[in-house]
Amino acid sequence: MKVLHVHRIGGIGGSERHLLTLLPALAERGVDVRFLGLDDPSRAPDPFYEALTVPYDRLSAPRDVDPALAWRVARAARGAELVHTHLVHADVYGALGARRLVSTKHNDDPFRAGAFRFVERTLAHRAASVIAITHALERFQVERVGLPREKVEVIHYGLDELPRAWGSNPPPGAFRPDARVLLAVCRLEPQKGVDVAIRALREIDDAQLVVLGEGPQRAELEQLARELDVSVYLPGRVPDVTEWLRRASMLVHPARWEGFGLALLEAMLAGLPVVATNVSSIPEIVVDGETGVLVPPDDPSALAAAVNRVLRDPGDLGARGLTRARAEFSVAKMADHTMAVYEQALKRGNEGTAKAGA
Q: What are phi and psi of 288, to 5 degrees?
A: -60, 125
Q: What is the pLDDT of residues 199-233, one digit of tens each?
A: 999 999 889 999 999 999 999 999 999 999 999 99
pLDDT of residue 189: 95
Domain boundaries, the chain: 2-158+330-357, 180-328
Matching CATH topology for 2-158+330-357 and 180-328?
Answer: yes
* Angle, vertex CA 206, rays to CA 205 and CA 211, nearest 5: 105
- Mean of pLDDT values over 26-49: 93
Q: Are 201 and 232 in contact (CB under 8 A)?
A: yes
* Angle, vertex CA 286, rays to CA 284 and CA 290, nearest 5: 125
How many other CB atoms are found less than 10 A from the CB of residue 353?
11
Give the DSSP per-residue string, 57-78: EEEE--SS--HHHHHHHHHHTT
pLDDT confidence band for 350 (50 / 70 / 90): low
Of the CATH numbers 1.10.3210.10, 3.40.50.2000, 3.40.50.300, 3.40.720.10, which one belongs to the domain with range 180-328?
3.40.50.2000
Q: What is the pLDDT of residues 81-139, one digit of tens each?
A: 999 999 988 998 988 878 899 999 998 877 777 788 888 898 888 899 999 999 999 99
Q: What is the pLDDT of residues 49-91, one digit of tens each?
A: 998 999 999 999 988 888 899 999 999 999 999 999 999 889 9
* Angle, vertex CA 91, rays to CA 110 and CA 258, nearest 5: 35
CATH 3.40.630.10 is right for the domain spanning 2-158+330-357? no
